Every structure is written in structure tokens, then in C-alpha cells.
């Protein structure tokens, strides 16, 4: 019974590590790429398409058309609008604020990678030449999280296969907790990296909003949304990480009792 409970705990932790982070992945960039319905003419996905079409190393410009509308355009396309947002009728008071904030995030993140300033900081040239599919993968997935997952799967399979070949169940019971502890440490490092990226994205979002001509009230809406999303990210990841550590301790107790 104790062994079965330990296995159940292990399966729950495995699911959380392999699938759980997808719900909060890449500092909401995944939400950016697949936004909910809003009142904008285009979605933030157009930003990705623009970078793909423009070899992903051209700058964008921003213009406040009037008091109710702003647009984002590509400097090399004769001000052909890329994103147009209508700010009438309390636009920034409703759910569309999330789409605007995510658009600013994705613009800021693109610039971190593809501007000359970013290249001076050591951005690999291969990132400039990579294709659209790989670029989308970079935007929506964390490489470090992928490494953590592959390490977890490899060590888990190695432990189970080694225990079967050796005919020693105790080897698996003793080594699997070590695999989980190592994976959770790696996952904690991933969370810290994501938190740093989250804060950096928020800073770039507010800076971009200022360049686009947002007034103080609109900027305050953005600032409050970004703070709320950052707080939600921290709380959810803290709860998720603590829960996995607690399950690991319960699994250790169950295996030791057996």
C-alpha cells in the first residue's frame, strides 16, 4: 500500500513537471500568441508574421493616429499598419487591455533578441537566421524547461530499467526520490529565470507604451495589469513548486515505510 501511494505521488509530480508549466509558460507569451477575442483589428500574432516577413531584424515604429486610435507599423513598409487598436468606449477598461499588454510584451521580447543592441550582448547569429517555426518555438517554450523535462524522463526511465534488469526494487525506491529532488531544483532555477524575464518584459512593455503615446491613465491601466499578472505568476508558481516538494516528501515517507 505504501509503495502504491508513493507511485501515485510520483505520477502526480511527473504530470506537473511535464504538463503543469504549460499553463503559465513563458511569462504569458503563449497567451500573447493565442489571445482571447478582443476589439483590435489584428492580434499580436501579426507581430510574429511581420518579423518573419522582414527577416526578423527590422525595427518597428509607433504612431498615435488620433485620440482614439494608435497603430504599429514597419519602418520598411511605408507605414503600412501592422496593428491598429481602437481605444473608444472604455477600450482599456475591459478585457482588451490584456491583448494590448501582450502585444507590447511580444514587441519588447522581439526587440531584446533582434535589435543591434541585443546582438551586442551576444545574441547568437543563428537566432537571426532561424525559420518561422523555430522562432515561434523560441517565443512559446523555454529551452531550460525542455532540458529539465528531458533530464527527468531520462533519469526516470534509467532508474526503472536498471531496477528491472537488476531485479532489485529497492534501487528504484531509493533512486527515484533523488531524481525528483534534482528535477525540482532544476525547475526552481527555471522559475527564477522566468521571473527575471517576466520583470524585463513588463519594463519593456511600459517603455514601449510611452513611445506609442499612451497618456498617463492608459499607462496606469497597463501598469496595473502587468503588476497583477506578475503577482499571479509568482503566487501560482510558488504554490506549484511547494506542492511538488511536499509530494516528494510524502513519497519519501511512503517508500521508507515500505
Tens-digit pLDDT profile for residues 36-71: 554 444 455 555 555 555 544 444 444 545 555 555
pLDDT per position as a tens digit, 169-206: 777 777 888 888 888 888 888 888 778 877 877 777 77
| Highest mean pLDDT of the ranges 101-115, 208-222, 225-239 | 225-239
63 φ, ψ (degrees, to nearest 5) = -150, 130
- Residue 133, pLDDT score: 47
Query: CA-CA distance, 59 to 61, in Å (whole number)?
Result: 7
- The domain containing residue 152 runs over which residues? 2-257
Cβ contact 91:99 at 8 Å:
no
User: Which residue from 98, 248, 251 is spatially nearest to 184, judged by alpha carbons?
Assistant: 248
CA dihedral 243, 245, 249, 254 (to 10 degrees): 60
Q: How many domains does the chain have?
A: 1
Amino acid at each position: 500500500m505504501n509503495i502504491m501511494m508513493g507511485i501515485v505521488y510520483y505520477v502526480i509530480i511527473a504530470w506537473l513537471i511535464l504538463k503543469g508549466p504549460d499553463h503559465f509558460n513563458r511569462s504569458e507569451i503563449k497567451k500573447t500568441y493565442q489571445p482571447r477575442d478582443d476589439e483590435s483589428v489584428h492580434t499580436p500574432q501579426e507581430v510574429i508574421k511581420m518579423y518573419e516577413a522582414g527577416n526578423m531584424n527590422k525595427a518597428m515604429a509607433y504612431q498615435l493616429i488620433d485620440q482614439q486610435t494608435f497603430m504599429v507599423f514597419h519602418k520598411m513598409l511605408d507605414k503600412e499598419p501592422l496593428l491598429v487598436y481602437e481605444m473608444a468606449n472604455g477600450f482599456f477598461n475591459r478585457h482588451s487591455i490584456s491583448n494590448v499588454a501582450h502585444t507590447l510584451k511580444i514587441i519588447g521580447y522581439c526587440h531584446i533578441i533582434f535589435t543591434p543592441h541585443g546582438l551586442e550582448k551576444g545574441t547568437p547569429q543563428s537566432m537571426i537566421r532561424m525559420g518561422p517555426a523555430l522562432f515561434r518555438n523560441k517565443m512559446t517554450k523555454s529551452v531550460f524547461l525542455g532540458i529539465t523535462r528531458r533530464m527527468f524522463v531520462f533519469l526516470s526511465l534509467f532508474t526503472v530499467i536498471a531496477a528491472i534488469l537488476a531485479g532489485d526494487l529497492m534501487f528504484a525506491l531509493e533512486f527515484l526520490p533523488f531524481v525528483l529532488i534534482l528535477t525540482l531544483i532544476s525547475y526552481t532555477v527555471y522559475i527564477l529565470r522566468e521571473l527575471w524575464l517576466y520583470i524585463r518584459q513588463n519594463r519593456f512593455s511600459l517603455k514601449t507604451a510611452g513611445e506609442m503615446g499612451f497618456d498617463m491613465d492608459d499607462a496606469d491601466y497597463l501598469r496595473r495589469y502587468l503588476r497583477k499578472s506578475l503577482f499571479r505568476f509568482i503566487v501560482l508558481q510558488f504554490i506549484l513548486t511547494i506542492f511538488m516538494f511536499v509530494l516528494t516528501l510524502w513519497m519519501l515517507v511512503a517508500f521508507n515505510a515500505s
